[in-house]
Structure 1
Amino acid sequence: MLYIFDLGNVIVDIDFNRVLGVWSDLGRVPLATLQSRFRMGESVEQHERGEISDEQFAAAVCDELDIALSFEQFAAGWQAVFVSVRPEVLTLMHQLREQGHRVVILSNTNRLHCRYWLAQYPQVQQAADRLYLSQEMGVRKPEAVIYQQLLQQEGIPADQAIFFDDNLPNIEAARALGITSIHVTDASVIPAYFAEQR
């Protein structure tokens, strides 16, 4: 079997309020104001596909939020999204590989985040056979082609794949292609799923 894991809120807990909190402090703009303005909009999607640079992305978001930050200040906030690894998921990933299964990570991410989390959490990369990252692939979830590319590169049919993601549109898109998909609504979902398989 091929097991496909998302990264954020599946393997690593993330919290965008931490990002906004840093920007609020650095930019001297109330947190509630930033929370009301922040959207995972077109600039985020372009950045995750690798279509715009980190600097272009920072400028676009600062413009959307109407906040004055240096690129270094922006990056410091953007990296604050990561909270901690879910060790129980890493353990399961290692166990799956030991049992002869293929384990990969499929993440909508960007160069700024990758430079941080790959260095900060080396144990995540060590738990997977391969990383499939949106900014390297030029497409992002829930676009069907990202799943099709992954399956093609792995040489595995959709009915031999199981996908874990916290975002419902990503789950629905994968299911539409015939991939068994588990919606990770909290940290208990993945351990419970594997407990039921025993």
Structure 2
Amino acid sequence: MKGIKHIIFDLGGVIINLDYQLTYKAFENLGVKEFTSLYNQFTLNTLFDDLETGKVEPEVFLNEMQQHTAPGTTHQQIIDAWNAMLLDFPLRRLQILQQLRQHYGLYLLSNTNAIHLAAFNKILQDSRGIPSLASFFDKAYYSHLIGLRKPEKETYQFVLEENGLDPAETLFIDDTLPNIEGAQAVGLQTIHLLPPKTIADIFK
């Protein structure tokens, strides 16, 4: 941490626990035979990317998903299945963020979408009585709101430039290797957080 003045955190798998299998199973229960194949198909036609960069509204995503679920499946059932992957915010991680903020500039940079943003803020409110994750950071950046997503270099540069951060003095923590490599390409210091390690292990 020598020379580090700012820390940029990823969200999923770093601050909130995720289980993608729960979403896969939930969609299978709604009649989607092979969610991973569908996900790959949508990745090729950019539906998920467009949702994550705010190019399409959630309504478009829900209507498209409805075409692949059992007849009579509602938008709310699709939202619930899509959100099934979002688990919990371990208290220790939130405490670490509060402690770090006294010594560092803290930022959040997450590839996410409007449906998940509403859902994880509700989890935080219901479980910890805190209405928004943004309260832990100097600034929170969500891909669907800034129109940029990791690992594109422009995404990191946007955060650095908007806040006047020197990448050599800024640490980026993420659990996905391509995102780490994208950050390194703009000169950020990085930690690739691999399970079972958590930020509690880094900041003992």
TM-score bracket for this pair, using the shorter chain length: 0.7 to 0.9
> How far apart are residue 168 of structure 1 and its match?
0.6
The alignment's C-alpha RMSD in Å is: 1.9
Distance of 1:152 and 1:141 partners within structure 2: 16
TM (norm. structure 2) is: 0.84
Q: 143, 149, 161: which one pairs with 1:140?
A: 149
Q: Is the 8 A contact 1:50 1:134 kept in 2?
A: yes
Q: Is the 8 A contact 1:118 1:125 kept in 2?
A: no
> How far apart are residue 146 of structure 1 and its match?
0.9
Q: Deviations over 1:145-179 (max 9, x none)?
A: 11001011111111111011111100001001110
Which consecutive residues of structure 1, in runs of 5 or more, have no partner in the other structure? Answer: none
The AA in structure 1 aligned to 2:111 is: N
Aligned to 2:186: 177
What's the secondary structure of 1:141's corresponding residue? Answer: coil
What's the secondary structure of 2:88's corresponding residue? Answer: strand
Aligned to 1:186: 195
Aligned to 2:35: 34
The AA in structure 2 aligned to 1:149 is: F
Q: 56, 60, 71: which one pairs with 2:64?
A: 60
Q: Is the 8 A contact 1:143 1:173 kept in 2?
A: yes
Specify whether residues 43 and 173 from structure 1 end up closer, same or farther in structure 2 by C-alpha distance, changes over 3 A only: same
Count of residue pairs the alignment pairs up: 189
What's the secondary structure of 2:101's corresponding residue? Answer: helix
Distance of 1:140 and 1:75 partners within structure 2: 22
Aligned to 1:78: 82
Aligned to 2:115: 112
TM (norm. structure 1) is: 0.87
Which structure's residues are more often helix, by fraction?
1
1:148-167 to structure 2, matched below 5 A, reads 148-167=157-176
